[in-house]
Amino acid sequence: MGKTDVTSAAEDDGGSPTMRTTETLLRVLPMALCLAALVIMLKDSQTNEFGTLSYSDLGAFRYLVHASGVCAGYSLLSAVFAAVPRPSTLSRAWAFFLLDQLLTYIILAAGAISTEVVYLAYKGDASVTWSESCGSYGGFCRKATASIALTFIVTLCYAGLSLLSSYRLFSKYDAPVAYSTTKGIEAATFNA
């Protein structure tokens, strides 16, 4: 009984200290990168003889700014949650899993659509008469590219976090004893 309680407490505190530290760092890193991507994009504006071009003129870049903000906020909150050893419930594991997946999709979409806009700004598209703009707004395009590159590194971090939170969630799911036993009998029949 004593051992059982100890085991369950060990299971519930969110894994070993090393694993907790790794997870916390994996959550702090994208927070920093998101903030960097956000600041670079917010300051991305260029004025020349043709006029002024700012990030807010392009829907994709506005979405990237919002997505980076949400991602930085969530990364901070989840890093704090991950750092503190506390009972890990199934609902908490589900919440981490679903939110990590969602953030991965949101930030990947932000990177993808911004890449498309920068691609069009560099190359243009003659068939729909969209001219290239980076010849005139080179600095603007370079800053946008830097911000997008950071966003893709964040995407990689979040792909890793999704893996980690799926592991945390689904490794809880072999628990019911009856299920394992039934499966054992089933296999015995199958093998007989």
Residues at the interface with a copy of itself (CB under 8 A): 1, 3-11, 13, 51, 53-54, 57-60, 101, 105, 108-109, 112-113, 115-117, 119-121, 123, 125, 127-131, 133, 159, 162-163, 166-167, 169-177, 180, 182-191
* DSSP-assigned beta bridge partners for residue 47: 52
The residues facing 52 across adjacent strands are 47
Shortest Cβ distance from residue 165 to a copy of itself (Å)?
9
The nearer residue to a copy of itself, 51 or 73, going by C-beta atoms, is: 51
What is d(CA 157, CA 147) in angstroms, rounded to the nearest whole number? 16
Angle at 168 between CA 167 and CA 172, to 5 degrees: 100
75/162 with CB nearer a copy of itself:
162
Minimum CB–partner distance for residue 78 and a copy of itself (Å): 18
Min dist CB 186 to a copy of itself, Å, is 5
Q: Compare residues 154 and 169 and give the one whose CB is closer to a copy of itself.
A: 169
Q: How far is the CB of 20 from a copy of itself (least distance, A)?
A: 14
